[in-house]
Structure 1
Amino acid sequence: MNKQIIEYIQSMAAEIHFSGSVFVKQGDQILADCSFGLANRSEKMNNVSDTKFGMASGSKLFTAIAICQLAEEGRLSYYSLLGDCLNQSFPHFSQEITIHQLLTHTSGIPDYFDEEVMEDYEELWINKPMYHVRGPKDFLPLFQNEKMKYDPGSKFHYNNAGYILLGLIVEQVSGMAFTDYVEKNIFERVVMDAGYFETDSLPSKAALGYIDQSDGSWKTNIFSLPAKGGPDGGAYITACGIIQLWEALTAGRLLDKQNVQQLLAPHIRVDDSTAYGYGIWMKTEKHSVTKHLLMGYDPGVNFRAAFYPHPSLCISVCSNQSGGAFDMIKGIESELMKELTS
């Protein structure tokens, strides 16, 4: 452990009232493994190193890995057409949409949560009760009859519905429920403590998500999210678990070298310094990737993970509040960079 980094994390956590877990590893050395706040406020249960947290959209990476595994097996290709892989009706969708476009948010399909139309994710569940949403197909009525937003491949537009379709493709091609496929072919192979849990029946050591109000009151997020996560987000992991997954992925234990490169390549430019691969963001400099990023936000959930190839550095921050992970990881990165350059 790195005493200086741990002291910095403790100070930062106190300053921002952070609730969650932090795990930092460089090469084979664990620099920090710290937890703060409460996993269950009513029962006064602390967050600890093996507490499992929701990771929201950070779990799109699992969906991308699942698709890449099926591509590696020759059961589909990255440029297969949506209509050739999924037996569902989309009356207004283009016939030219490919799996690659769904993976890179360039398909142009309508999203079920359109940030141009609504700002609050909780608005979704006014007419579609969240307790009915327990599988990918349950999202289809929210977008399958809407019109295209853009021509396929014309632009990047972050899109949760595209990953719902990818999850349905995993189900149709594999013959397994999406969450069963990921748990068997990713979580079990990595031997990581993770899962897709129903919010109304969480297992032990799974943190409840909390939404804090300006008057000091709070509520859990059980009525703010789908009852069970799926292809576009909502898996539960430990802070160290996502680093275990990264190590397994880059060591070739989940995909061969060619498909790992396909997954992690900067396929689409988002801005001058940001690109997107398959289910993962990245920072680039002079056409090379300097950092891979996972991010997730839901009401009562905040998640960030950063993976630096040079140096071999991984940082994971999980929070069971609506904020905190970004500030925490930004501060840790800054502090570590000082050490590495001193």
Structure 2
Amino acid sequence: MDKKKIISTTMLAVVAINSTVKAQQAGSIQLADKTSVLQEILDNTVDNKKVFGVSFSVKHKGEVWSGSAGDMENEQPFFIASTTKLFTTAIILHLVSENKLTLEDKIGRYLDDDAMQGLHLYKGIDYSNEITVRNLLAHTSGLPDYFEDKGTNGKSLEEDLFSGNDQFWTFEQAIERSKKIHPLFAPSTKNKAHYSDANFQLLGRIIENITDKSYSENCRELIFEPLNLSKTYLYNDINDIRPKAMYYKNNVLKIPKAMTSFGADGGIVSTSQELLMFVEAFFTGKLFPKSYIEELQVWNPIFPPIKSGVGIHQFKLPAILGMPELIGHSGLSGALAYYDPKNDLYIAGTVNQISYPSTSFTVATKLIQATVSKRKEQKIKSFSAIGIGATYSSIEDNAGKPKAGLSLGLYKEYNIFKPVSFTAEILYNQKGERSNDPLQNIRLHYIDFPLMLKLNLWNDKIGIASGLSTNVLLGSNKAKNTFQRVEYSVPFAVNYVLTDFLQVSLRYNMGISNIAKNDYPDQKLKNNWLGISLLLVKP
């Protein structure tokens, strides 16, 4: 049930600005000392527009912190959606440890003919009997997603549910729906993965056929009871109102029929504390041999920056942003459970919002940063970003034509007081004009240092900024002393928040100083340019 909304990271990596403004140094800071900072992160997440309630738990160096905000409490059960797949993976790996199957086994060995017939017909070839258990875990089977992919009626089951049509379905109906959608590629195609809930529906049935027990019984006997997870269970009763209802945009979404139908691909209920206990057990060898973990880490992109491994996911932003790799799983409900190997940290929780599931990663990122920080509190909130874009420049009092160029940038924003913030940037910009006349054909390379005040509007979705930019000439296509070394301009910028990790910035830069020197004695040349950039944000 993971959503393809998380974010796209096709940007060029440059050196990030990772400094943050913090106060109150402490020699040895414990997690307990950061309670107010961690709680503030949750409190600030709840805006009663996008997010109405959150619950998270963190474990670091043996210490556990749990918090909640809005309409959720610490012990509040919630739907973990596709984070359920981590439980399914644990059971499969447990069966591997008992020599009851291998990851290379063909799935036809464990499924009946009705399930296998016509399961994977791709370009006229039947690959059904070529699919392995590993293919299902790693989403490399090529099977379509019965839930998110569009069916023969042109709509996905997901769209049907969110339009208010709650419904039941069986394993057989889910697989039959999948069979009516075209596969994406042949099983085990190199560097190919397609996220599909059908894969884990099939794994759930394989577990049941091998053990002769229901998926729910397997979860209870192999995971819930050994780990003493008293509030974690497979949702199977439409009258059960214990789990917090999910939100879809600003509406409560009640789909109990669907939630009883997901099973092994998305039907478990848990709390942040118990989900934290489970994810720690998963990565520390309490459910299956710890040596298996390395074998699971074979990554293929599914919806960047999330990659699929073998039964697990990797969330990894560009290293330039200084964020650690997270491995685990997340769900469409806004739930997640991840392990940070670098910092030996576990985190689990939910923002309980279907429409903005990437928000859970923003919250997790902030909680991790605050947890591993060696300082107690951050008095001035800030975030960093890297950007790539294009400029369309002209030179006032020159007879050339506007020229397109490249723009690369580092961005830092400090929240002074709502709704005003201060921004500082370092930008590489290509400027100039093109012309057949050698004198008027000007190519310029600058490092710009804009400082701006920004007004944040519409629930911080839009920012309007202006200030002063000092721009240093790196080089040009002219002789060394043709242009002034430093020029000044007034930038005007409008930023729009696409997701928690991605923004688009549109700006106009008006030159206010003459860049001409020796070769243009009678001309007052000023750089003017229009630019657009995508910003990859580190909260």
| TM-score, structure 1 normalization | 0.82
Q: How far does residue 36 in structure 1 lie from its aligned partner after superposition? A: 2.0
Q: Secondary structure at the match of 1:317?
A: strand
Q: Give the one of 349, 352, 355 matched to 1:320.
A: 352
Matches of 1:138 and 1:186 in 2, distance apart?
A: 28
The one-letter code matched in structure 2 to 1:66 is: I
Q: Secondary structure at the match of 2:226?
A: helix
Higher relative contact order (CA 8 A, sep 6+): 1
Closer, same or farther: CA 259–122 of 1 in aligned 2, 3 Å? same
Q: Secondary structure at the match of 1:86?
A: coil
Closer, same or farther: CA 149–6 of 1 in aligned 2, 3 Å? closer
Q: How far does residue 337 in structure 1 lie from its aligned partner after superposition? A: 5.2
Q: Give the one of 214, 218, 226 matched to 1:181.
A: 218
Closer, same or farther: CA 268–14 of 1 in aligned 2, 3 Å? closer
Closer, same or farther: CA 308–91 of 1 in aligned 2, 3 Å? same
Counterpart of 2:518?
Answer: none
Q: How does 1:34-183 map to 2 (within 5 A)?
A: 34-38=67-71, 47-89=72-114, 90-92=116-118, 93=120, 94=127, 95-115=129-149, 118=155, 121-123=158-160, 130-133=166-169, 136-144=171-179, 146-154=181-189, 155-183=192-220
The farther-off stretch of 137-146 and 184-193 is: 137-146
Q: Does 1:304 align with 2:336?
A: yes
Q: Secondary structure at the match of 2:210?
A: helix
**Residues 201-243 of structure 1 deviation map (CA, whole Å, 9 limit, x = unaligned):** 2264x21223344xxxx33322683434311112111101122
The one-letter code matched in structure 2 to 1:201 is: N
Counterpart of 2:233?
Answer: 195
Closer, same or farther: CA 340–152 of 1 in aligned 2, 3 Å? farther
The one-letter code matched in structure 2 to 1:60 is: K
Counterpart of 2:301?
Answer: 270
- Paired residues, what number? 318
Counterpart of 1:9?
Answer: 41
Q: Does 1:247 align with 2:280?
A: yes
Q: How far does residue 254 in structure 1 lie from its aligned partner after superposition? A: 0.8
The one-letter code matched in structure 2 to 1:76 is: L
RMSD: 3.0
Counterpart of 1:19?
Answer: 53
Counterpart of 1:294?
Answer: 329
Q: How far does residue 273 in structure 1 lie from its aligned partner after superposition? A: 6.6
Q: Secondary structure at the match of 1:132?
A: coil
Greater percentage in strand: 2
Closer, same or farther: CA 125–171 of 1 in aligned 2, 3 Å? farther
Q: Give the one of 309, 312, 315 matched to 1:280.
A: 312
The one-letter code matched in structure 1 to 2:370 is: E
Q: How far does residue 5 in structure 1 lie from its aligned partner after superposition? A: 2.8
Contact 1:199 1:222 in 2 (8 A): no
Counterpart of 1:220?
Answer: 253
Closer, same or farther: CA 203–181 of 1 in aligned 2, 3 Å? farther
Alignment identity in percent? Answer: 22
Q: Give the one of 52, 63, 66 matched to 1:29.
A: 63
Contact 1:282 1:293 in 2 (8 A): yes
Q: Secondary structure at the match of 1:257?
A: coil
Q: Secondary structure at the match of 1:231?
A: helix
Structure 2 spans left out of the alignment, 5+ residues: 1-31, 121-126, 378-539
Closer, same or farther: CA 171–273 of 1 in aligned 2, 3 Å? same
Structure 1 spans left out of the alignment, 5+ residues: 39-46
Closer, same or farther: CA 229–188 of 1 in aligned 2, 3 Å? farther
Contact 1:52 1:207 in 2 (8 A): yes
Counterpart of 2:244?
Answer: 207
Matches of 1:109 and 1:166 in 2, distance apart?
A: 13
Matches of 1:61 and 1:107 in 2, distance apart?
A: 18
| TM-score, structure 2 normalization | 0.54
The one-letter code matched in structure 1 to 2:297 is: P
Q: How does 1:220-239 map to 2 (within 5 A)?
A: 220-222=253-255, 225-239=258-272
Contact 2:38 2:367 in 1 (8 A): no
